[in-house]
Structure 1
Amino acid sequence: MMKQRFTTLDIFRGILASFIVLFHMSFFSDTLVLNNPFMQGTDLFVDFFFILSGFIIRYNYSEIPNLQTLITFLKKRLLRIYPLHVILLLIYLFLELTKCFFSGSNLINNHFNTDNTITTFITNLFLLNSIPWSGITNVSWNNPSWSISAELLSYFLYAIVTYLILSNAKMRFKSAVYISIILLSFSILYRLTGSAIIVYTYNYGFLRGFIGFFTGVICLNTYSYLYRYFNKSSDYFFTYLEVSILIILGLTIPLKEKLADITVIYEALFFITILIFSFQKGFISHFLNKSRVLKNIGTYSYSIYLIHGLINTFFNVLFIRILRFAPSDYSYLFVLNYILVFYISRWTYTTIERRFYKPQTIYTL
């Protein structure tokens, strides 16, 4: 099987990152466009990202045969995610200090966010903010960064396990070890919380990340095994699979609250979705791959995901608090808000992300 770029999955990453942008816009809005059962379930797409990340990392780094490869892998991963994260963290620190200075202004409702403390700044700085710490009861600073913490910890665990245990192991043994990590992570989470809920962030987000990431690793192993059997299947067959899984997702995402006690089932649904679209053979895959805009959204998806909270907040202050638009006006303002997120993400991708890493010829996170 030749190395390839999973363009469709890249596009999916951008589309789902955009849904999370809209999900967080709904906190400010009062419109059926954003405040509906489907949109309220789209925060689950973070788990899709974890699975996709494990899929791609496994594809690009199936072996870590020596210490130098291990160090190179971790260095590349840090350079990929840390620069934008720390720059945004410093921006949030500046904003908190500015809010304190202008606390008497009528534009400042809460002059200090009680979740943004010295302790949480340190945990965010070192990307340890997906692990429970005494006194921390919520996400803080740049809220989406908890998932970047879980992602980084997953990289470390994958690299160490693959290097120390699996360098010379056969595929079956490797898969058994990765599955064991999934089961162990879920068992620990179940023991700590007493339920099959996995939607955790600042506290047990790292376990959520392990479950998703290593599910993605197994998804890649499954894809590699099935490739020889299904790669020559007709486009019509894959169109049927693609349409079917999207319909299932469309029906189940709005049921997040009803399925709250067993949200782990979404891991299976996202696993199947990524597996189907990794073949890139159905009508939907072909349609998505023709769109230059969607490809760009996929390219900028990390910036879109990480900066959108900051942009959404400024947008809300400007249009709702200063210009006095109504929350219901988000029925159309969301378009302008998203366009702003998109273009600023394009700038941060070019000036920050690309400054610290060089995209590979194959798909990388």
Structure 2
Amino acid sequence: MSTNLNNALATKPHYPILDGLRGIAAIIVVTFHLTEPLGTGHLDILVNHGYLAVDFFFLLSGFVMGYAYDDRWSKMTVGNFFKRRIVRLQPMVILGMTLGALGFYFTDSTLWPLIHTIPLWKMLLVMLIGYTILPVPLSLDIRGWEEMHPLNSVGWSLFFEYIANILYAIWIRKFSKTALGILVVIAAVALTHLAITNGDVSGGWTLNVEQVRIGITRTMYPFFAGLLLSRIAKPTQIKNAFLWCSLLVAIVLYMPRIGGAEHLWMNGLYESVCIIIVFPLIVYLGASGVIQSQRESRICKFLGDISYPLYLVHYPLVYFYVAWISNHKGVTIAEVWPYALLILIGGIMLAYAALKWYDEPVRKWLRKKLA
């Protein structure tokens, strides 16, 4: 890619409020993972819909992808596009997998009784595969949770993010608005069917047919709805958009389970409405928002800066927390919250340190090498 194109892409105006919302969602994901081990299943987790943040991330990604790249293809090759995506995504993937590997043998827990029997070569093999974000087969499930990425659970969503990026670059970017609209409608129907049939959209992190189907279904609608939104939306000027959009994101993700075990379809319907209607509305409002002050600008920038690093580094910390809870049966939220708060604050600090001392310098170096 030419230096001029790099500069053009780097200096193109962006949406600071969307950056801030990404950070809000990332923090809520951490709170979801911190309350998840206190529940007995999907029906009673305190942060019950926190996993929908992933679907929100996909929609944000599709919107930003269309805004950043749709009008650049006359000057940019598919290969250059993938170089940019690798430079953006892979450094933190590698750090996240490395942190997961470093902590692997130290998470003593009744949940993972066989961890210390896993040979070092096998753990290192899983780590190296994780560096590529390719999923590992169940034969390499060294933690026993049937995850694509046993060293850092959240890697599964990055795998599907890459699939969406590949589909966009080699094929779907060429779609007209009408063709893209048809694809988005079909994807919305598939998502609604999944949500109502299963009671929720949670899943996608195991390398088997059913879970990969869930992952693809969760990715296709929000990512390409975001792309369509970037092509058809005409942002206006909305005051206090960051505040109202942040509240909407929090309400959606902190909403308790709906319908209970007797009416699973009700919760599925709720999640369908959130992903198909509410999330695009939030992104549109955020894109239309006007920053009200320097303070708000700094908050949005900070939240946007730490969002991706936080997502990639927090789960290796969560493994220790989950191990502690599993070894102290019956602990309550009143007993756990100081540790949870410590993990949350520590995760944010680790994310900021990773951003400044690792991610930004590595990406700067890679951009020079690949320019």
* Bin for the TM-score computed over the shorter chain: 0.7 to 0.9
Find the residue that maps to 2:288 and give its secondary structure.
Answer: coil
Q: Deviations over 1:258-316 (max 9, x none)?
A: 333332221210100110121113xxx53796263553132011010111111123356
TM-score (normalised: structure 2): 0.71
Distance change >3 Å, CA 292–CA 110, structure 1 → 2: farther
- 1:66-145 to structure 2, matched below 5 A, reads 68-96=76-104, 98=105, 110-112=113-115, 124-129=130-135, 138-139=146-147, 140-141=149-150, 142-145=152-155
Taking the aligned partners of 1:123 and 1:206, their CA distance within structure 2 comes to: 21
Please tell me whether residue 219 in structure 1 is matched to residue 193 in structure 2. no
Provide, for residues 327-346 of structure 1, a one-character-per-residue CA deviation record: whole Å limited to 9, x for no partner.
53333333322111011111
1:79 is displaced (CA, Å) by 1.6
SS across alignment from 2:203: coil
Query: 1: CA distance between counterparts of 2:253 and 2:32?
Result: 16
Structure 1: gaps of 5 or more residues:
167-173, 360-365
Q: What secondary structure sits across from 1:5 in the alignment? A: coil
Q: CA 1:17 to 1:316, structure 2 compared with 1: closer, same or farther past 3 Å?
A: same
CA distance in 2, matches of 1:186, 1:287: 37
Query: Could you tell me how far apart the structure 2 residues matched to 1:13 and 1:310 are?
Result: 20
Q: Which residue of 1 aligns with 2:60?
A: 52
TM-aligned CA deviation for residue 124 of structure 1: 4.3
Matched, 1:345 2:347: no
Contact 2:195 2:272 in 1 (8 A): no
Contact preservation (8 Å) 1:300, 1:346: yes
CA distance, structure 2, for counterparts of residue 301 and residue 319 of structure 1: 26
Q: Which residue of 1 aligns with 2:157?
A: 147
Superposition RMSD in Å? 4.3
2 CA distance for matches of 1:93 and 1:243?
Answer: 39
1:272 aligns with 281
Per-residue CA deviation, residues 228-254 of structure 1 (Å, 9 max, x unaligned), is xx34xx74xx76x97499459727852
Mapping for residues 148-297 of structure 1, pairs under 5 Å: 148-162=158-172, 165-166=174-175, 174-186=176-188, 195=197, 197-202=200-205, 203=211, 204=213, 205-223=215-233, 226-227=234-235, 230-231=236-237, 235=239, 243=244, 246=247, 250=251, 254-258=255-259, 259-262=266-269, 263-267=271-275, 268-281=277-290, 286=292, 290=296, 292-297=298-303
Deviation at 1:188, TM superposition (A): 5.7
Contact 1:8 1:288 in 2 (8 A): no
Amino acid at match of 1:180: I
Alignment check: 8 A CA contact 1:120 1:129 kept? no
Write the distance in 2 (CA, Å) between the matches of 1:255 and 1:350.
Answer: 36
Counterparts in 2 of 1:349 and 1:189: CA distance versus 1, 3 Å: same
Flag the 1:217–1:133 CA change in 2: closer, same or farther, 3 A.
farther
Which sits farther off after the overlay, 250-259 or 152-161?
250-259
Alignment of 1:27-66 (within 5 A): 27-29=36-38, 39-65=47-73
Deviation at 1:61, TM superposition (A): 0.4
Unaligned runs of 5+ residues in structure 2 are 1-10, 206-210, 260-265, 366-371
Which residue of structure 1 aligns with residue 7 of structure 2?
A: none
Instruction: For 1:17-32, list aligned pairs within 5 A.
Output: 17-29=26-38
Q: Is the 8 A contact 2:16 2:300 kept in 1?
A: no
Could you say what secondary structure the match of 1:199 adopts?
A: coil
Q: Is the 8 A contact 2:195 2:268 kept in 1?
A: no
SS at match of 2:70: coil
The 2-side partners of 1:12 and 1:302 are apart by: 12
The answer to whether the Cα contact below 8 Å between 1:37 and 1:254 also exists between their aligned partners in 2 is no
Counterpart amino acid of residue 170 in structure 2? I
Structure-2 separation of matches of 1:111 and 1:311: 20
Distance 1:336 1:122, change over 3 A: closer
Identity within the alignment, %:
19
